[in-house]
Structure 1
Amino acid sequence: MPNMPDSNTLDLPLPARRQQTLGLVLLRRIAGHGLHDARATMLAMDAAGVDFRKLLVITRALVVDLARTSRRKIKLAPCCASGMTRDEGLIMALIGGAGLDVFGALTDDARCPAAMTTAHALGQELNRIALRNDWRR
């Protein structure tokens, strides 16, 4: 079977920074288990403390925006997977501040960047949490 760009294979390594891994696991939990997943809430509470609601709301909004705007299925790995799918790599790039080219590759629709601003907001929140928690890695 040829390696298709939207396959379920874990082609990419997990993110190197702790806040990026947190964002990926939150996205996987919320997308796979629903917007009100208790484990995602506990992860957010552990990382963000009293500001956990902001992290959850932005993550939920990103999941909903991606689901509404994508013209194709976005492939996500299970929460405990040891790597990332191509789509998860694109989402992490989008959270890191990537532009319309990455959004277009992820959703097959670069004309409607609804989720792009939400992804950038999530990236800023994850970086704020990393600074607050003194996560150097």
Structure 2
Amino acid sequence: MAHSHDSTALDLPLPARRHQTLGLVLVRRLAGHGLHDARATMLALDASGTEFRRLLVLARALVVDLARTSRRKILLAPCCAAGMTRDEGLLMAMVGGGGLDVHGVLTEDAACTDAMATAHALGEELDRVATRNAWRR
């Protein structure tokens, strides 16, 4: 069944912050190319150095949690796309600390909050990476 939010249009701009864009690209790569994608690993390694595993594991866990708990298809753009789908905007809002309302719209399952907890942990790790790399100004 198609929903009005099943658009593949890139309605939203990419995130304004480098660490948020990194999180989006990691999720796109892992969801589109598999949980053991080498380029996603290299992105995490480049951003986090020797502590890359934490970032990579959290991104993988988020992809798995969303796939396991979502009651609908979540539409992601290709890795190199110059914008975000509505679903990706909701995903980034959840990674940024969004609550049950955002989670419920994204997954159509507000009762199962596994993906929300993982998204918040990923958001905290992305913030830590941004601070470590002086990406925030």
In 1, Cα distance between equivalents of 2:65 and 2:4: 25
Cα displacement (A) at 1:5? 1.5
Counterpart secondary structure, 2:111: coil
Cα displacement (A) at 1:113? 1.0
- Aligned partner of 1:79 in structure 2 is 79
In 1, Cα distance between equivalents of 2:4 and 2:82: 20
- Aligned partner of 1:102 in structure 2 is 102
In 1, Cα distance between equivalents of 2:7 and 2:85: 8
Equivalent residue runs for 1:114-133 within 5 Å: 114-133=114-133
Where do 4+ consecutive residues of structure 1 move more than 4 Å? none
Gaps of 5+ in 2: none
In 1, Cα distance between equivalents of 2:50 and 2:41: 12
Instruction: Kindly indicate whether residue 103 of structure 2 is the aligned counterpart of residue 89 of structure 1.
Output: no
What amino acid does structure 2 have at the position aligned with 1:106?
A: L
In 2, Cα distance between equivalents of 1:114 and 1:10: 27
Paired-residue identity, %: 76
- Aligned partner of 1:16 in structure 2 is 16
Cα displacement (A) at 1:130? 0.3
What amino acid does structure 2 have at the position aligned with 1:25?
A: V
RMSD between aligned residues: 1.1
Cα displacement (A) at 1:104? 0.3
What amino acid does structure 2 have at the position aligned with 1:10?
A: L
TM-score by length of 2: 0.96
TM-score by length of 1: 0.96
In 2, Cα distance between equivalents of 1:99 and 1:6: 22
**What does the per-residue CA deviation read over 1:58-86, in whole Å, with 9 as the maximum and x for residues that have no partner?**
00000000000000000000000000000
In 2, Cα distance between equivalents of 1:102 and 1:51: 29
Counterpart secondary structure, 2:123: helix
